[in-house]
């Protein structure tokens, strides 16, 4: 029997990540309840006959953007294949090959709602060579797993391209203010030669690169670093070459 999960271009299907619709409904319900409470408090001292048209009309108007939000994300899904992934937005489906991805940004940070409820905010952005931008977040089931698998596949496709560019003596950009080549790191007219490079660190949601004479020679938010995993690999590689 023919395998219907094999795409002629992207290959065999590996994983499927739909939108968690219950999260959309939960968010919509919380937002609607909030609007209801605000209206009830606003008209608490107004008699029922006078207040009723305003409360009903206000709730109807408030339901419009909530309904748009829920429907806007309702039919989204991501399917990973061997050679790429598909991204469904309603009735439209985009097929992206891993080798057509130019930059991958990641953000995953732990926050607390109202100072009490722990929650991890996920936001992953894919930029293609055709200037397509795809953003994935908490509305997807197992979004952390999705991000790890997607990043590994994208970096595997990007790695040989970056090494080929470096072998030609070209600079590779990882941030609008950070470029890397075989000589060292470059930022805003400054050059940090590999001989003076002393390592990198992450703190306060930032990536910092240290020089022999200056800690924090370069710092930028992790969420603004393109292809972070590949950058870290190269920093370690050059450091190990200089430090037996």
Query: Is 56 within the bounds of a domain?
Result: yes
226 plus 190 within the same structural domain: yes
- Same domain as 236, residue 120: no
Residue-wise DSSP of the chain: ---TTEETTTEEEEEEEEB-HHHHHHHHHHHHHHHHHHHHHHTTTS-HHHHHHHHHHHHHHHHHHHHHHHHHHHTEEEEEESSEEEEEETTEEEEEEGGGEEEEEEEEEEEEETTTEEEEEEEEEEEETT--EEEEETTBTTHHHHHHHHHHHHHHHHHHHHHHHHHTT--EEEETTEEE-SSEEEETTEEEEGGGEEEEEEETTEEEEEESS-TTSEEEEGGG-TTHHHHHHHHHHHHHHH--
For the stretch 116-172, pLDDT in tens is 778 788 899 999 999 999 999 999 999 999 999 999 999 999 999 999 999 999 999
pLDDT for residue 244: 59
Residue 47 lies in a domain: yes
Same domain, 148 and 188: no
Q: Are residues 28 and 146 in the same domain?
A: yes
pLDDT in tens, 49-96: 888 888 999 999 999 999 998 988 888 999 999 999 999 988 889 999
Residue 162 lies in a domain: no
Residue 163 lies in a domain: no
Per the structure, the complete domain to which residue 30 belongs is given by 6-157
Residues 6 or more apart whose CB falls under 8 angstroms from that of 70 comprise: 24, 25, 27, 28
Lowest mean pLDDT across 35-39, 93-97, 239-243: 239-243
Together in a domain, 142 and 207: no
Q: Does any domain span residue 114?
A: yes
- Structural domain ending residue among the three candidates 157, 192, 226: 157
Same domain, 43 and 109: yes
Indicate if 83 and 11 belong to the same structural domain: yes
Same domain, 123 and 236: no
10 and 122 in a common domain? yes
In a domain, 107, yes or no: yes
Indicate whether 165 belongs to any domain: no
- If asked whether residues 79 and 187 sit together in one domain, one would say no
| 79 and 192, same domain (yes or no) | no
139 and 211 fall within a common domain: no
Please tell me the pTM assigned to this model. Answer: 0.84
Please say which residue of 132, 157, 182 terminates a domain.
157
Domain count for the chain: 2
Tokens 């939108």 — which residue? 19
Condensed to tens digits (0 to 9), the pLDDT of residues 163-218 reads 999 999 999 999 999 999 999 999 999 999 999 999 999 988 999 999 999 999 99
Domain assignment of residue 1, yes or no: no
């Amino acid at each position: 029997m023919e395998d219907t999960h094999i795409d002629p271009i992207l290959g065999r299907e590996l994983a499927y990540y739909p939108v968690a619709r219950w999260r959309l409904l939960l968010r919509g319900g919380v937002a609607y309840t909030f609007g209801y409470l605000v209206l009830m408090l606003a008209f608490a001292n107004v008699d029922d006959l006078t207040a009723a048209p305003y409360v009903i009309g206000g709730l109807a108007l408030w339901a419009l953007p909530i309904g748009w939000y829920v429907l806007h994300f309702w039919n989204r899904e991501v399917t990973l294949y061997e050679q790429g992934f598909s991204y469904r937005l309603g009735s439209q489906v985009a097929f992206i090959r891993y080798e057509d991805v130019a930059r991958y940004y990641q953000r995953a940070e732990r926050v607390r709602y109202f100072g009490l409820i722990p929650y991890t905010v996920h936001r992953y952005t894919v930029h293609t060579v055709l200037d397509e931008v795809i953003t994935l977040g908490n509305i997807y089931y197992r979004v952390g797993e999705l991000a790890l698998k997607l990043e590994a596949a994208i970096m595997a496709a990007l790695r040989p391209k970056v090494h080929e560019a470096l072998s030609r003596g070209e600079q590779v950009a990882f941030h609008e203010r950070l470029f890397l080549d075989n000589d060292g790191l470059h930022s805003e007219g400054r050059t940090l030669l590999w001989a003076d490079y002393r390592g990198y660190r992450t703190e306060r949601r930032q990536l910092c690169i240290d020089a022999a004479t200056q800690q924090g020679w370069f710092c930028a938010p992790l969420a603004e670093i393109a292809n972070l995993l590949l950058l870290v690999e190269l920093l370690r590689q050059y450091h190990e070459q200089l430090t037996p």
